């Protein structure tokens, strides 16, 4: 494990191996935590081996200008941002993503607990693994909840208002047997601007030479239009924003994700289903 | 304000982080002056695009400002924290940008120092001591890296800067997986030992 921690700090592990290290660290191993801290400090210094470069002077001005007046710093006791202030573009991603991550982690915990309850009492090894998974997911829920609280206390009430508007509909996608347990996605369908905001979590990396494609699918399954490609990050998360074709109506449209050859123009699903919505948007 | 800036710029990084957590903008400015260049250098190496690298620097320091409570001094220095966040964010952006093209990894180490034109002049607010310390540390790091076996240095850089896993490095270089793992591990251990020596 100690060797794995070193490789983890350098970013050299495959995703499955990195997950194993994260689970181990989440279990609270003090020696490995200390080893990781030292390794991270060492690898971080690799930046010094590069020829120094400088950002433009305007960048600092932009940062300090963004801070604005001292009262504008995100804090629970500060007043809400002016109603005329435009919602930061990233809030549209972060808030729904944080909400989605909390929900996904919660669903994954319920799933893990049900799996655990179904195991024979004598299968101790499987129970231990399930307990570790629950521990990791619980820690993630707490972290996501803290992030969500921080974002909300930053005066981004506009995002909550956006999420509550009647023109917003939702699609839920579940992972098929091709994907890890707990994987899924949710789509926020902004019917006013006819845009899909797609957020996936727990999705494994696409196979070599392949990528994931999101599809608009009619409820009768007869029509499928490509919505866009995505590749999950190291945490299994991905997001996508795409305009919805006029032919796709909320009560007659579902969604699906397949794996398709990378670097090619795809007009119809040819790969295997990875994520599927079983009910139209509502 | 000038007096406050001078006072703030003399504080160590840990104290500046505490001040940032308390809402001190001058502390954030001082930490930016000290480490934005390094964060930008790292981001530029990974992303190979100045605009994207500047966006990343903005994101890193904005996150630091908004979520200062997430920093844990027990886990490492503020500089390590900044660089760790920066690398993670840069790798995520690189993966997103690389979706539609194949990536040729430059295995020639001599090209790793990106030459995107002359270094622009800046109104660097960091003090002469900060520059001297950074310069000395940079020399030590470069010296330590030069002492590594070429295969070890290459493996470490490919994993850290180019987001390649050990199996991807092995496939790319045509080397056994075990050899690559050993190179990365030994490279980090030797680097750590070199930096510990005075």
> Residue B3: which CATH number?
1.10.1740.10
In a domain, B122, yes or no: no
What pLDDT score does A109 carry? 55
Verify whether the Cβ–Cβ distance A54 to B165 is below 8 Å: no
**Model pTM score:** 0.50
ipTM of the complex: 0.77
- pLDDT class of A127 with cuts at 50, 70, 90: low
Verify whether the Cβ–Cβ distance A55 to B37 is below 8 Å: yes
In a domain, B49, yes or no: yes
Alpha helices in A119-246 (DSSP H): 124-153, 157-164
- B181, B139: one domain: yes
In a domain, B33, yes or no: yes
Enumerate residues 6+ apart whose C-beta is below 8 A from A181: A108, A111, A112, A115, A175
For A27, other C-beta atoms within 10 Å of its C-beta total 13
Range of the domain at B59: 1-97
- B5, B85: one domain: yes
Q: Which residue in this structure is represented by tokens 């030479």?
A: A209
The length of chain B in residues reads 198
Q: Is residue A239 classed as helix, strand or coil in its secondary structure?
A: strand
Tell whether A236 is within 8 A of chain B (Cβ).
Answer: no
- B195, B137: one domain: yes
- B89, B22: one domain: yes
Interface A-B, measured as beta-carbon pairs within 8 A, has a size of 186
Distance in angstroms (rounded) separating the CA atoms of residues A175 and A96: 19
Tell whether B41 is within 8 A of chain A (Cβ).
Answer: yes
Over residues A31-46, the pLDDT tens digits come to 888 888 888 888 888 8
Verify whether the Cβ–Cβ distance B188 to A6 is below 8 Å: yes
Structural domains of chain B, count? 2
In a domain, B105, yes or no: no
In a domain, B76, yes or no: yes
- B75, B147: one domain: no
pLDDT at A178 over 70: yes
Greatest mean pLDDT among A16-20, A71-75, A92-96, B9-13 lies in A16-20
- B7, B89: one domain: yes
- B140, B91: one domain: no
What pLDDT score does B104 carry? 47
Nearest to A279, CA basis, from A243, A253, A249, A245: A253
In a domain, B103, yes or no: no
pLDDT mean over A241-245: 85
In a domain, B109, yes or no: no
Verify whether the Cβ–Cβ distance A10 to B36 is below 8 Å: no
- pLDDT class of A132 with cuts at 50, 70, 90: low
Name every chain B residue with its beta carbon within 8 A of the beta carbon of A41.
Answer: 76-77, 80
Query: What residues are paired with A259 via a beta bridge?
Result: A212
Task: Write the CATH number for B184.
Answer: 1.10.10.10
Do residues A134 and A112 lie in contact, with contact meaning Cβ atoms separated by under 8 Å? yes
In a domain, B187, yes or no: yes
Distance in angstroms (rounded) separating the CA atoms of residues A108 and B83: 31
Distance in angstroms (rounded) separating the CA atoms of residues A201 and A182: 8
Domain final residue, candidates B97, B115, B141: B97
- B75, B11: one domain: yes
- pLDDT class of A122 with cuts at 50, 70, 90: low
Of B33, B41, B184, the CB nearest to A47: B41
- B159, B82: one domain: no
Over residues A66-115, the pLDDT tens digits come to 887 444 455 444 444 444 444 444 444 445 555 555 555 555 555 555 55
Of A59, A64, A74, the CB nearest to B54: A59
- B6, B62: one domain: yes
Nearest to B145, CA basis, from A12, A54, A37, A42: A42
- B46, B138: one domain: no
Nearest to A39, CA basis, from B75, B70, B12: B75
Distance in angstroms (rounded) separating the CA atoms of residues B151 and B169: 11
- B2, B91: one domain: yes
- pLDDT class of A136 with cuts at 50, 70, 90: low
Name every chain A residue with its beta carbon within 8 A of the beta carbon of B181.
Answer: 3, 7, 12
């Amino acid at each position: 494990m100690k060797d794995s921690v070193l490789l983890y700090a350098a970013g050299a592990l495959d995703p499955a191996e990195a997950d194993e290290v994260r689970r181990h660290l989440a279990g609270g191993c003090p020696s490995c935590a200390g080893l990781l801290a030292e390794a991270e400090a060492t690898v971080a210094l690799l930046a010094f081996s590069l020829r120094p470069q400088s950002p433009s002077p305007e960048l600092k001005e932009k940062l300090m200008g963004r801070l604005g007046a001292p009262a504008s710093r995100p804090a629970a006791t500060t007043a809400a941002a002016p109603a005329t202030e435009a919602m930061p573009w990233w809030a549209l991603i972060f808030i729904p993503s944080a909400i989605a991550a909390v929900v996904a982690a919660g669903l994954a915990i319920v799933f893990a607990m049900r799996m655990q309850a179904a195991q024979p009492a004598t299968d101790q090894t499987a129970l231990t693994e399930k307990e570790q998974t629950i521990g990791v997911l619980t820690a993630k829920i707490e972290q996501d909840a803290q992030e969500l609280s921080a974002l909300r206390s930053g005066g981004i009430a506009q995002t909550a208002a956006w999420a509550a508007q009647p023109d917003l509909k939702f699609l839920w996608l579940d992972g098929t047997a091709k994907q890890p347990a707990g994987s899924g996605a949710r789509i926020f369908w902004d019917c006013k601007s006819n845009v899909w905001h797609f957020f996936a979590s727990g999705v494994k990396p696409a196979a070599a030479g392949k990528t994931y494609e999101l599809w608009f699918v009619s409820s009768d399954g007869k029509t499928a239009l490509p919505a866009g490609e995505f590749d999950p990050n190291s945490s299994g998360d991905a997001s996508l924003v795409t305009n919805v074709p006029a032919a796709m109506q909320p009560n007659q449209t579902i969604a699906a994700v397949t794996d398709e050859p990378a670097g090619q123009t795809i007009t119809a699903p040819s790969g295997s289903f990875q994520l599927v919505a079983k009910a139209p948007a509502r | 304000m000038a007096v406050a800036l001078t006072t703030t710029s003399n504080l160590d990084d840990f104290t500046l982080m505490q001040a940032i957590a308390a809402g001190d903008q001058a502390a954030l400015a001082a930490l930016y002056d000290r480490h934005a260049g390094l964060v930008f250098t790292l981001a530029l190496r990974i992303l190979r695009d100045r605009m994207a690298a500047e966006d990343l620097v903005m994101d890193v320091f904005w996150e630091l400002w908004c979520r200062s409570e997430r920093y844990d001094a027990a886990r490492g220095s503020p500089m390590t924290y900044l660089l760790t966040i920066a690398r993670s964010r840069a790798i995520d952006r690189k993966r997103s940008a690389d979706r539609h093209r194949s990536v040729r990894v430059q295995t020639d180490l001599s090209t790793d120092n990106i030459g995107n034109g002359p270094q622009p002049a800046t109104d660097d607010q960091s003090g002469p001591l900060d520059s001297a310390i950074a310069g000395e540390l940079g020399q030590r790091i470069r010296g330590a890296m030069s002492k590594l076996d070429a295969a070890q240095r290459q493996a470490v850089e490919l994993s850290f800067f180019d987001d390649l896993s050990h199996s991807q490095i092995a496939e790319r270089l045509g080397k056994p997986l075990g050899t690559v793992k050993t190179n990365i591990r030994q490279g980090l251990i030797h680097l750590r030992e070199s930096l510990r020596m005075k």
